[in-house]
Chain A
Amino acid sequence: MFEVVIGLEVHVQLNTKTKLFCSCPTSFNHTQNSNTCPTCLALPGALPVLNREVLHKATMFGTAIDATINRTSFFDRKSYFYPDSPSAYQITQLYTPVVEHGKLEIDFDDGTQKTIRINRAHIEADAGKNIHEGDISKVDLNRAGTPLLEIVSEPDMRNEDEVVRYLKKLHSIVRYLDISDANMQEGSFRVDVNVSIRPKGDEKLYTRVEIKNINSFRFIQQAIEVEVERQIDAWEDGVYEQEIFQETRLFDQLKQETRSMRGKEEAADYRYFPEPDLLKAVIDDEMFDSASDIPELPDAKRERFISEYGMSAYNASVITANLEMAKYFEKMIDEGASAKNSVTWLSVELQGRLKNSLTLETSPVDAATLGTLVKRIDDKTISGKAAKDVLDYLMQNDSDVDSVIDKLGLKQVSDTGAIEKMVDEILDANPDKVQQYRAGKEKLLGFFVGQVMKASKGSANPQAVNEVIKSKLA
């Protein structure tokens, strides 16, 4: 039996307005090479000046994962030649990173948790982009010099499920802190996976293989599966030593295999040394204090939702798993909606209606509106069934809840006089069934209620109808 050992490196693009070492904007979708200057194009004589906000955001992250924050950290130079880096080196933090020895709790469905240790988080500059076309490559350096936080876990994960839970937790923390857009498709949350295997019970770490640039949770799962299979096959065939060596591989999602990126004889030699163009980076008291004061994190919010609103652990996890959902929920509560109905109407009814790439942020029904709708259910102005019609209408039309209730004539009748009149009519029209009910066929109650509801076109308050019928037939 084998045990799988997995560690992750996640590159998170920090959402600062400017690059790491120059004032060029970091915004997307600009003309190629327009967000560049002598510093990020590495012209001779141009010097890097560290962006204060980057240090601040890195410190916030360190606080969130309960890590050691190095109030003094250093930059190092990693040399490599590739057209996406005009300086032919990357400025990073190898020897003394800003954040070390943190941890993160991953949650399982049964409510248990597991601690994944985080070795370090260091600041580094991103590279540009290359577009390969026939005999040439086009180079766009708009992204060159964008600040990254590389978050390196310890090899504490044992299967794909733990990996995905770790990534989802990390993603939500980064979003709660608002230090990154963390969009996997746009490349602001990039994952490299380090995988090795070992006989169960063995404490030694064997050869790890790095799989680079996998851009969805699903592909990460698949990549790990096929790579583990490759390593186990090699072991069982007695060719582990020959076939498995420390290297970088790419995942091919079509062929469902990992492939070597470069031969082992060409192992890279980065020739790291302390960056001579930058002095030590110091986090002063003011920055340290303000960066220690971080927003409520997903775990704390979940616990609060459970204790404050009596939510089930499952519901609390669903609502707090992503920041947009949690914010939406809290706005509904601010609007005066009950927590219980808000959970259902947000996570089931609204989510179920968000189609064609609509998200909570682009939803035609905003949190205040859905909160008002839930309030009308709470105070029995309308029934749950009628509320679905209102929501359907609001998904298509720009209006407000109360106008739609009036327009669709959905106001629930709780007025006992009106309900009694309808009940009398139904009972008079069905004397045979009244007789059977009185003779003991009590499940006919449902039939009477249904008839009254139908007569009221769904507007009667079902609870009131129930009570009136029961008292009349008693």
Chain B
Amino acid sequence: MQVDNTLLSKLEKLSYLKVSEDKRDEIITQLDEMIAFVNNLSQLDTDGISDNFSMTDKSTTLRQDVPKCNPQISDDILAHAPNTDEHFFIVPKIIE
């Protein structure tokens, strides 16, 4: 797969991120390198292997339905958030 300006624009749209003009070529090169790196995996022959293949035959651990809540944790997290008000996270407006 070749990363080009069109694909970068699509990624910007999907991720709600803006890449500035002077950074575009650099980012495109980096994305290309990442894809090339991951592409090594396609050398593996995966014919006949289920999409759900896993390295372990174990199933996921199940948790009992018992509530636990430590209010200190959310207080701490909110205290570190860039912008909060009355225990809300505040973000730029998200509807036009």
Where the two chains meet, the residues of A that have a C-beta atom closer than 8 Å to any C-beta of B are: 16-18, 23-26, 31-38, 41, 43, 49-53, 55, 72, 74, 79, 81-83, 95-96, 130-141, 266, 269, 274, 278-282
Q: Which residues of B contact A278 (CB under 8 A)?
A: 60
7 A/B residue pairs, CB under 8 Å, sorted by A:
A23-B63, A23-B69, A34-B87, A37-B74, A51-B63, A81-B14, A274-B52
**CA gap between A55 and B64 in the complex, in Å:** 11
Q: Which residues of B contact A131 (CB under 8 A)?
A: 88
CB distance from B12 to the nearest CB of A (A): 11
Choose from A16, A36, A280 the contact partner of B60 (Cβ within 8 Å): A280
Q: Which residues of A contact B85 (CB under 8 A)?
A: 138
CB distance from A313 to the nearest CB of B (A): 39
Q: Is B56 among interface residues, defined by CB-CB distance under 8 A?
A: yes
Q: Is the CB of A17 within 8 A of B67?
A: yes
Q: Is the CB of A23 within 8 A of B91?
A: no
* A-B residue pair count with CB separations less than 8 angstroms: 127
Choose from B65, B88, B90, B94 the contact partner of A52 (Cβ within 8 Å): B65
CB distance from A457 to the nearest CB of B (A): 59
Q: Is B48 among interface residues, defined by CB-CB distance under 8 A?
A: no
Q: Is the CB of A83 within 8 A of B94?
A: yes
Chain B residue at minimal CB-CB distance from A36: B74
Q: Is the CB of A138 within 8 A of B14?
A: no
Which one of A35, A79, A134, A280 has the greatest number of beta carbons of chain B within 10 Å? A280
Choose from B62, B73, B88 the contact partner of A37 (Cβ within 8 Å): B73
Q: Is B93 among interface residues, defined by CB-CB distance under 8 A?
A: yes
Choose from B73, B89, B95 the contact partner of A141 (Cβ within 8 Å): B89
Where the two chains meet, the residues of B that have a C-beta atom closer than 8 Å to any C-beta of A are: 10, 13-16, 51-52, 54, 56, 58-71, 73-74, 77-78, 85-95
Q: Which residues of A contact B74 (CB under 8 A)?
A: 33-37, 41
**CA gap between A152 and B28 in the complex, in Å:** 40
Q: Which residues of B contact A34 (CB under 8 A)?
A: 69, 71, 74, 87
Q: Is the CB of B77 within 8 A of A36?
A: yes
Choose from B14, B52, B68, B90 the contact partner of A74 (Cβ within 8 Å): B52
CB distance from B90 to the nearest CB of A (A): 5
Chain A residue at minimal CB-CB distance from B53: A274
Q: Which 8 A-B pairs have the closest CB atoms?
A: A282-B59, A53-B65, A138-B88, A52-B62, A279-B60, A23-B68, A25-B67, A139-B89
Q: Which residues of A contact B64 (CB under 8 A)?
A: 52-53
**CA gap between A51 and B85 in the complex, in Å:** 31
- Known contacts A38-B73, A269-B14; decide if A280 and B52 are in contact (CB<8 Å): yes
Q: Is the CB of A280 within 8 A of B54?
A: yes
Q: Is the CB of B91 within 8 A of A49?
A: no
Q: Which residues of A contact B66 (CB under 8 A)?
A: 17-18, 23
**CA gap between A26 and B65 in the complex, in Å:** 11
| Additional 18 contacts, C-beta under 8 A, given A52-B64, A131-B88 | A17-B67, A18-B68, A23-B67, A24-B68, A33-B89, A34-B87, A50-B61, A51-B62, A95-B51, A96-B52, A130-B94, A136-B93, A138-B85, A138-B89, A278-B60, A279-B60, A280-B54, A281-B60
- Known contacts A34-B74, A41-B77, A279-B54; decide if A50 and B63 are in contact (CB<8 Å): yes
**CA gap between A35 and B69 in the complex, in Å:** 7
Which one of B13, B86, B89 has the greatest number of beta carbons of chain A within 10 Å? B89
CB distance from A375 to the nearest CB of B (A): 41
Q: Which residues of A contact B52 (CB under 8 A)?
A: 74, 95-96, 274, 280
CB distance from A138 to the nearest CB of B (A): 4
Choose from A43, A50, A133, A134 the contact partner of B62 (Cβ within 8 Å): A50
**CA gap between A55 and B61 in the complex, in Å:** 12
Choose from A16, A274, A279 the contact partner of B56 (Cβ within 8 Å): A279
Q: Is the CB of B63 within 8 A of A52?
A: yes
Q: Is the CB of A24 within 8 A of B69?
A: yes
Chain B residue at minimal CB-CB distance from A26: B67
Q: Is the CB of A24 within 8 A of B16?
A: no
Chain A residue at minimal CB-CB distance from B15: A81
**CA gap between A41 and B54 in the complex, in Å:** 27
Q: Which residues of A contact B91 (CB under 8 A)?
A: 83, 136-137, 139
**CA gap between A60 and B86 in the complex, in Å:** 40
